[in-house]
Structure 1
Amino acid sequence: MPDEQEVLATLVDKRRRVARGDVLFHLGDEFRSLYAVRTGFFKSIVVGGDEQSQIGGFHLSGDILGFDGMAEGRYESEVRAMEDSEVCVIPYDGLSDLAIRFPPLQRQLHRLMSREIVRERSVMLLLGSMQADQKVAVFLLGVAERYRRLGYSGTSFILRMTREEIGSYLGLKLETVSRHLSAFDQQGLISIDKREVILKDLNALQRVAGSAIGAGSDAPANRTEWLEFVKCSDHPELN
């Protein structure tokens, strides 16, 4: 009898390229699939109660996109590629059927959903109560941790997003983000040249972040394991 990994590999049989600037799915589109980010970088855009759009998160390799469409049957955000990217398409109807037949897969799916809910609530609560310098520090530490988990440097990296996009995510003005990045640079906490960032004094940056450290990390460690679990890299490309 095949295990859940072998069966899931038969379900996740398509890869889809998304060019920089193109939309993976729109707000209000019918929910049909989840998407595992194989390569590249995405941003999700949400609309608040005041009808103003705001960046709800940044997503890279190993992240699962589309969970927000499960409740109402339509995606509640727009996801756009920030660079040429590639995802694996996971049809949700087939995934649900498999989850019923294979309890370990169902538990794995429920864990991912639960952690996504907890992450979103934690980020909202912490960002809502933090000072601006804390928000920027937490964001930098979170980006660094995500790169570290993917096997890259956790102290030197390129920011894929603009300062305006960082501000949208953190609920800060562009000028505020730039001011605090410059202050961290002048204080010797970081070195920044356009989008290239080097974290020079992690301890000092962590002190600025305080008890909020970790809120900027959008990707639970097991997401990259799940990308390997579905063997995304083995599937043919969907044009």
Structure 2
Amino acid sequence: MNAIIPIASASRAPAQPRCGLCSFNRFCLPQGLGEDTMRRLDQIISRRRKVQRDEQLFSMGQSFGSLYAVRLGHFKTAQVNQRGEQQITGFHMAGDLLGMEAIGAGQHSCSAVALEDSEVCEIPFARLQELVAQVPELMQQFHRTMAREIQREQAVALFLGNMRAEQRLALLLTQLGARYAARGFSQSSFQLRMSREDIGGYLGLTIESISRLLARFRKAGWIDLHNRDLRILDLAGLQDLAAGRMEPECEAA
């Protein structure tokens, strides 16, 4: 069963957001909040916003005003270095909160682009700050969410600094599976929403290296892949590879 999150009909006007009715609220700010606080949070969420495939939700350098909770679909975030090269900084799915990297500087340090037709709940940050100051449990949850974002950034640094190419890809695939499983979808069968170019941009590898590694993973019996439909056949093997407990047969060029 593929982990496909349905997209609402484009002809239907977005409804007023209701955190308590959202299937993914346990991943977002409402996690563990009481009903009264949930209602107050509902009141400050300005709208649901549809974002078409390849459309930017926000751009690098844009002034910061809102956070965005992914309700449906998938996004990638990316930065452009001084040489004009794009570095993918993350892949995001329903329940993730986008825009937190801009809180300190007041402008976005990356862009966020929809990988498919998606939908977000827009949370004006000024109004959220007012509510956070009034509700201690919401402040605690917000701090936990920020801590997860810091941990994610540290994990990316680990990807690029200390891991071999095949470890990076194995870890990405197993982490994607775990994230889908936490959302009630299959851990072993899902669709890769990002392109091989995006995967390479995230892991610091070329498209050719990603293609060779995927071919090796199929040959080893760890995965089955048709177009973007992925099945993990040997989760333990991939986990051992990601953790460095298995030596590769050869390195990716």
Query: TM-score when scaled to structure 1?
Result: 0.85
* Displacement after TM superposition at 1:48 (Å): 3.1
State the partner residue of 2:161: 128
Q: Are 2:64 and 2:102, in contact at CA under 8 Å, matched by a contact in 1?
A: yes
Separation (CA, whole Å) in 1 of partners of 2:220 and 2:158: 28
> CA-to-partner distance for each residue in 1:173-209, whole Å, 9 max, x for gaps?
1111111110010111111112111111111111111
Separation (CA, whole Å) in 1 of partners of 2:231 and 2:60: 35
Q: Of the two structures, which has the highest relative contact order with CA contacts closer than 8 Å and spacing of 6 or more?
A: 1
Q: 2:85 aligns with which of 45, 49, 52?
A: 52
**Which 4+ runs in 1 deviate beyond 6 A?**
none
Q: 2:113 aligns with which of 75, 80, 89?
A: 80
State the partner residue of 2:220: 187
Letter of the 1:83 partner, please give it.
E
Q: Percent identity?
A: 43
1:40 counterpart = 2:48: no
Uncovered stretches (5+) of structure 1, i.e. residues with no partner:
213-239
- Count of residues in correspondence between the two structures: 211
Separation (CA, whole Å) in 2 of partners of 1:147 and 1:33: 26
Q: 1:204 aligns with which of 215, 237, 245?
A: 237
Q: 2:139 aligns with which of 106, 113, 117?
A: 106
Separation (CA, whole Å) in 2 of partners of 1:91 and 1:75: 15
Letter of the 1:48 partner, please give it.
N
State the partner residue of 2:208: 175
1:97 counterpart = 2:134: no
SS in 2 for 1:109: helix
Letter of the 2:228 partner, please give it.
R
State the partner residue of 2:174: 141
